Amino acid sequence: MNTIATDIRNDFPILSREVNGKPLVYLDNAASTQKPSVVIAAIKNYYETINANVHRGNHLLSQLATDAVEQARDKTQAFINAAEREEIIFTKGTTDGINTIASSMTSMVKSGQNVVISALEHHSNIVPWQMLCERTGAKLRVIPINQKGEWILEEGLSLIDEHTAIVAVNHISNALGTINPVKSLIEHAHRFDVPVLIDGAQSAPHMAVDVQDLDADFYCFSAHKICGPTGIGVLFGKRERLEALPPYQGGGEMIKTVSFEKTTYAELPFKFEAGTPNMAGMVGMGAAIDYLTAHGMNKLKAIEDELLNYATKKMSAIEGMRFYGTAEKKASVISFLIDGVHPYDLGTLMDKFGVAVRTGHHCAQPLMDFYNIPGTVRASFAFYNNKNDVDVMVEAIEKSAMMLR
């Protein structure tokens, strides 16, 4: 067992519990990650020592709370290498970030334009764009994929033209683990001055992200997938792109002046942060970023890559195993079915062995339709998993499948 992985497991209290009388084997990390003690402690400390509403307060607690959340913004800027701290907008999560852009763009999109997404998208990167198209008369275009779960890139590039309002794609497929060539797509889209939004919900946890190197116009991710709390996330946007958009919501915090005749809006980032923010969530996310950064994203990725290779080899020997998503470049996600076994039944029985996996269409129903299947079982690994987790999972699959056939 990798020593660094063994040490890391001790940082996550929930990994020591039992489920159905068995040691927990948590392999549902693509849905949400577990939290290290330092993140839990940071949230607890916030509420116990500095809890107050932020910005504009002249008392000590408000000033301390403001410092804490703005430090989280600085940490986030460094984490994804944004050019300016003002380009970091706090949201409720990836879905909220995507909806912010889709809603804010409404007045700028016209009938006759198009929006380009891909066949690998999560529902949260399909539905907001469908809604935008319904509001504006624009058409939705979809980048096709092959049987391995990879973009057919040349066909995808041909969908982008001078009438494209925006391209919105995920960096890594949550359902298959495919790592998409987003940098090539961005470069092509920029030839038409088309902005590109990257759904980074699955890439921020699994690799070092550099939005300047990608040249992404927008990039969204959620804290709960990077070992942080739920209900908080990030929308990165290039300054010039964000300044060109009207705000998504109105209320306190996002204003400069208000009268009954006219309201003027605050400067970035506050223009897009209406209302009292999730201060404890921001602090918790900052602690999660500190934790990941201290260990090094490249080192953590190496642990996950080793687990992916080990699990793929072990699972390949299981009778009736069918993998979905066999791209050349993959993150630590394995989506599979066992011949003659319904995925829901398999996942339910695996839980009796203490193994937590996800079953269903993984909020990617069009992708399941492409494969003509009702869904898959998805095992998704994090850096705090180990080879013993894989061995227990394989045994659980084999025993469960025997009972269900």
Nearest to 60 by CA among 49, 75, 73, 71: 49
CB 276 within 8 A of CB 249: no
Q: How far apart are CA 350 and CA 348, in angstroms?
A: 6
Judge whether 133 counts as a catalytic residue.
no
The partner residues of 172 in beta bridges, in order of sequence, read 179
Alpha carbon distances (Å) from 68 to 42, 270, 380 = 10, 16, 32
Neighbours of 348 (CB within 10 A): 13
Nearest to 189 by CA among 169, 161, 210: 161
Nearest to 377 by CA among 361, 396, 366: 361
Q: How far apart are CA 234 and CA 106, in angstroms?
A: 21
| Residue in 133, 220, 227, 363 annotated catalytic | 363
- The pair of three-digit structure tokens given for residue 282, joined into one six-digit string: 């921001």
Known catalytic residues are 363
